[in-house]
Chains A and B, each alone.
Chain A
Amino acid sequence: MAANGQKSDKKTDYQGKMHNLQKDMIGRYYDSLTACAEGKGGKAVYMMISGNPVELIQAFDMIPVYPEVNALQLAVKKQALPLILEAEEMGYSTDNCAYVKADIGMYFKGRKTPFATIPEPDLILCNYVGCNVYLQWFEHLAQYSGREIYNLDIPFSRTLTDEPSEEDLNYVVKQLEEIIEVCERITGKSLDYKKLQRIVELSGETGALWCEIKKLTMCRPSPFDSYFDSVTMMAPLYCLRGTEDGLWFFQEAYKEMKARADRHEGPLPEEKFRFVIEGPPPWPYLRQFRDMFSRWGAVAVASTYSTVGGIWEFGFRHDPMRPLESIAKHMLQFNLTNRNFIQRYKQIKDYVEQWNADALVIHSVKSCRLFSAGQGDMREYFTKELNVPTLLIESDLEDPRYFSEAQLRNRVDAFFESLEHRKMLVAK
């Protein structure tokens, strides 16, 4: 989902085979949404991308619909602003998350987008994994559509241990059982447990591959950019996780990236800086933003945003022998949004150390307080306690009005200039 139809500079041609494959698959996914919207079959389930039970939905042959993905697609295609303004006319605030505003604007414009017609929901499944805006967003969609909503409540990671308690796990599993009943009622089919196990197995294998792909960026040079390329690779992780197609995509992606790593090939002519990046990308300006780092030979080797859908780097796998329990664990423990801020600090610290990064870039976005509120403290921690050079810059993930290109470029330039200087001094 990098900007389409753009002239590519030979030096910074970001489109690889894997990008095109992904565009193809997601295109077909969106066609199925349009078909559903046009009454040609299928039951649509709205969900959030972070920590969700898509495996259950796939087991019932229902179609997962992701308002977040739709919103970001609109931003990438530079269609978001008029929709945001529509929502603001309806009474939404400039301080409300722009993902929601773009989606609501789109809903009231007949749910038609350049890439699909989004079907009305047959079920609104709010997987509440940390992000409180999810609850508001789906509450509003339920009100506007008049359709059934289920709040799947995932207790937040709130204790000093990383492991969820038995009580929390039990609560989530029991809710999944209720959701199975809901899906049976909506589809008129019983759950095929063996099918669910097969789907969970596919998720497990997909997650394992994603983990291996991410580990490749430990190489020097990194074979791909773990932010700009990862976020475009992510869509099949939600839209197609648990399917044969989804698994095949990641098998192909792994092959391509591994081959690049073996050839010591990176996305840039020369890798001069390796950084970890925290925060969602500015979707309307993905390419301009990427260029700001590429001109310094800076490649992202790890990113937190690429783990919103799930964190597989640190050992988690969906387990077909315990499908509901492992789906529950994924939602409770192994996605970014349900983990607390301190766990995020640890995640970033691990990335910096294990992936050998030179710096941390914090991209603070106005819309998303889950990511952003308190990133000043994050910067304190990394600069003062861990001595990691850290750059904090601000814009937005969806609303194009908050992106000041010149200002951002100046900040990025100043940062890498001083980093370059630092490297030179150390080399001496």
Chain B
Amino acid sequence: MATTQVQEKPRLESIFDECRVISEDVEFEAAKRWLAKNPGRKAIGCFPIYAPVELIHAAGMLPLGIIGAGNQIEITHADSRFQSFVCSIVKSTLELGFTDRLKFMEGMMFHSICDPARNLASVFIRNFPGTFVEYVHFPQNLASPLGTQYLETEYRRVLGNLEARAGRKVTTEDLNRSIQLYNQIRGILRELYQIRADSPQLISATESFVLTRAGTLMAPEDHLKMLQEVLGLVRVRPARPKDRIRVVLEGSFCELPPIALIETLEEAGCYILDDDFLRGWRWFTSDIPIQSNPLTALAESYANRSYYSGIKHDTRETKFGHLIQMAKDKKADAVIIQAAKFCEPALFDYALYRKALDDANIPHLLLEFEEKTWIFDRARSEVETFVESLLFD
């Protein structure tokens, strides 16, 4: 007699489900649980794109990715402060502040990515007096060694402020331990991205996204354990390749696309082999060296061991050159430029990307999105049309 069996959800899927819940939680329960278990420890929110999380962690504090509120909250206070032609993430992040959802943290770290984000830092200072608000100026003169020398002094300044807030001094050993930890995390993420490019059926872009995003909302030590487990399971995952076009995706380095939008793109017939989701939390192309002057290592790595990005204007090389190379390396059929609505850096880049992609004969599609969307019919039909045009060309 057959017995009905309760199908246990595969471990991997359970992990991804858990990550999804954490990613969409605008009450930050995972982080709050950790803080409750570690009384006396503090958290600092990091706005996109790359924040020097190593410094925050070395000071004994928990760096958290405060990256807007997606489609999880309504904006009722912040839209009177920022105009309609400003991207949603600026408003939703401010809204998180106005609805007291950020009170559990010490404060925020902002940095130079674009004009609205910069003004946002000031609006935070004015509206939430007493919270810690830091603003890091990253160098835009990367062609000269002066840029990295400057960045080292900037890191020293920021570290001093973090030490004051944390009430403790940070040693070289503290810094190197934190750098090592984040090196390991980023190393596994790079491996997973490589697996996505080589065997995209083993881990989807959506799964990789929620895994990365959840990591920005929990303790890095816990994230590392999770990543190690996921890597092992993904490598032996039973999955067959589907008939899809291979694309690389670019332009979503700040405001986060809704998870369902990424799913929609994949279901419309794309394997997304590479993307720049949460670029700041995957900033480095290789490990930051462990050396006797960690601030120098961090500064030099910022300039010379980092991915190209819309907000980093390195005159030594072109961004579109990197994009074309990336598409070729991953053997992509096409490129999708997925830019947040009103995102000035991404939309500026598009003009040069478009020309370069046309010159290189690489098919491409521009999609604009907003973090707060619920309906993806239009995006789906645009991508389906695009996929069809490639399959039946």
Which A residues lie at the B interface, using CB under 8 A?
87, 90-93, 95-97, 100, 128, 130-133, 135-136, 139-140, 142-143, 149-153, 155-156, 158, 165, 167-168, 171, 174-175, 178, 340-342, 345, 364, 366, 368-370, 372-377, 380-381, 394
When the two chains form their complex, are residues B352 and A140 in contact, meaning their CB atoms are under 8 A apart? yes
Q: Which of A87, A143, A151 contacts B352 (CB 8 A)?
A: A143
Residues of B within 8 A of A370 (CB): 115, 118-119
> With contacts A96-B344, A374-B120, A374-B122 known, is A139 near B313, CB below 8 A?
yes
Q: Which of A140, A174, A340, A374 contacts B351 (CB 8 A)?
A: A140
When the two chains form their complex, are residues B140 and A128 in contact, meaning their CB atoms are under 8 A apart? yes
Complex formed: what's the CA distance from A324 to B350 in Å? 37
Compute the total of residue contacts between A and B using a CB distance below 8 Å.
Answer: 159
Complex formed: what's the CA distance from A12 to B83 in Å? 33
B146 at interface by CB-CB < 8 Å: yes
> With contacts A153-B150, A340-B118 known, is A375 near B83, CB below 8 A?
yes
When the two chains form their complex, are residues A140 and B348 in contact, meaning their CB atoms are under 8 A apart? yes
Minimum distance in angstroms from B299 CB to a CB of chain A: 12
Chain B 320-344 near chain A by CB (<8 Å), digits 1 or 0: 0000000000000000000001101
When the two chains form their complex, are residues A373 and B143 in contact, meaning their CB atoms are under 8 A apart? no
> With contacts A369-B86, A380-B80 known, is A340 near B355, CB below 8 A?
no
Residues of B within 8 A of A143 (CB): 318, 352
Most chain A C-beta atoms within 10 Å of own C-beta, residue among B120, B125, B149, B150 = B150
> With contacts A91-B354, A95-B344, A340-B121 known, is A175 near B146, CB below 8 A?
yes
B147 at interface by CB-CB < 8 Å: yes
Residues of B within 8 A of A375 (CB): 83
Residues of A within 8 A of B136 (CB): 158
When the two chains form their complex, are residues B147 and A153 in contact, meaning their CB atoms are under 8 A apart? yes
Give 20 new A-B contacts, CB below 8 A, not counting A133-B348, A149-B315, A372-B83: A93-B350, A96-B344, A132-B113, A132-B115, A135-B313, A136-B349, A139-B352, A153-B139, A153-B141, A158-B135, A370-B115, A373-B90, A373-B116, A374-B122, A377-B81, A377-B82, A377-B126, A377-B127, A380-B80, A381-B126
Chain B 149-160 near chain A by CB (<8 Å), digits 1 or 0: 110011001000
Complex formed: what's the CA distance from A374 to B118 in Å? 10
Minimum distance in angstroms from B114 CB to a CB of chain A: 5
8 contacts between A and B (CB under 8 A): A95-B341, A133-B344, A151-B140, A156-B135, A340-B119, A341-B118, A369-B85, A373-B116
When the two chains form their complex, are residues B157 and A165 in contact, meaning their CB atoms are under 8 A apart? yes
Residues of A within 8 A of B80 (CB): 376, 380
When the two chains form their complex, are residues A340 and B122 in contact, meaning their CB atoms are under 8 A apart? yes
Residues of B within 8 A of A151 (CB): 140-143, 313, 315
Minimum distance in angstroms from A97 CB to a CB of chain B: 7
B164 at interface by CB-CB < 8 Å: no
Complex formed: what's the CA distance from A287 to B147 in Å? 44
B112 at interface by CB-CB < 8 Å: yes
When the two chains form their complex, are residues B83 and A364 in contact, meaning their CB atoms are under 8 A apart? yes
When the two chains form their complex, are residues B144 and A178 in contact, meaning their CB atoms are under 8 A apart? yes
When the two chains form their complex, are residues B342 and A374 in contact, meaning their CB atoms are under 8 A apart? no
Minimum distance in angstroms from A278 CB to a CB of chain B: 13
Minimum distance in angstroms from B342 CB to a CB of chain A: 5
When the two chains form their complex, are residues A174 and B347 in contact, meaning their CB atoms are under 8 A apart? no
B123 at interface by CB-CB < 8 Å: yes
Which B residues lie at the A interface, using CB under 8 A?
79-83, 85-86, 90, 112-116, 118-123, 125-127, 135-137, 139-144, 146-147, 149-150, 153-154, 157, 311, 313, 315, 318, 341-342, 344-345, 347-352, 354-355
The chain B residue sitting closest to A337, CB to CB, is B115
Q: Which of B113, B119, B141 contacts A374 (CB 8 A)?
A: B119
* Interface SS, B side: helix
State the 7 A-B residue pairs at the shortest beta-carbon distance, nearest first.
A341-B122, A373-B116, A153-B141, A167-B153, A369-B115, A93-B347, A158-B135
Q: Which of B83, B315, B349, B350 contacts A142 (CB 8 A)?
A: B315
Q: Which of B116, B120, B150, B347 contacts A171 (CB 8 A)?
A: B150
Most chain B C-beta atoms within 10 Å of own C-beta, residue among A133, A151, A370 = A151
Minimum distance in angstroms from A102 CB to a CB of chain B: 14
> With contacts A136-B348, A167-B150, A171-B146 known, is A380 near B86, CB below 8 A?
no
When the two chains form their complex, are residues A167 and B157 in contact, meaning their CB atoms are under 8 A apart? yes
The chain B residue sitting closest to A396, CB to CB, is B85
Minimum distance in angstroms from A147 CB to a CB of chain B: 12
Complex formed: what's the CA distance from A100 to B150 in Å? 29
Residues of B within 8 A of A140 (CB): 348, 351-352
Residues of A within 8 A of B354 (CB): 90-91
Residues of B within 8 A of A175 (CB): 141, 144, 146
Minimum distance in angstroms from B28 CB to a CB of chain A: 24
When the two chains form their complex, are residues A342 and B126 in contact, meaning their CB atoms are under 8 A apart? yes
When the two chains form their complex, are residues B141 and A95 in contact, meaning their CB atoms are under 8 A apart? no
Residues of B within 8 A of A150 (CB): 141, 143, 315
Minimum distance in angstroms from B157 CB to a CB of chain A: 7
Complex formed: what's the CA distance from A152 to B144 in Å? 10
> With contacts A178-B146, A370-B115 known, is A155 near B137, CB below 8 A?
yes
Residues of B within 8 A of A341 (CB): 118-119, 122-123, 126
> With contacts A366-B85, A373-B86, A373-B115 known, is A132 near B123, CB below 8 A?
no
Residues of A within 8 A of B126 (CB): 341-342, 345, 377, 381
Minimum distance in angstroms from A108 CB to a CB of chain B: 12
Residues of B within 8 A of A131 (CB): 115
Complex formed: what's the CA distance from A345 to B119 in Å? 12
Minimum distance in angstroms from A172 CB to a CB of chain B: 9
Complex formed: what's the CA distance from A156 to B150 in Å? 13
The chain A residue sitting closest to B125, CB to CB, is A342
The chain B residue sitting closest to A392, CB to CB, is B83
Most chain A C-beta atoms within 10 Å of own C-beta, residue among B116, B140, B142, B157 = B140
Residues of B within 8 A of A345 (CB): 126
Residues of B within 8 A of A178 (CB): 144, 146
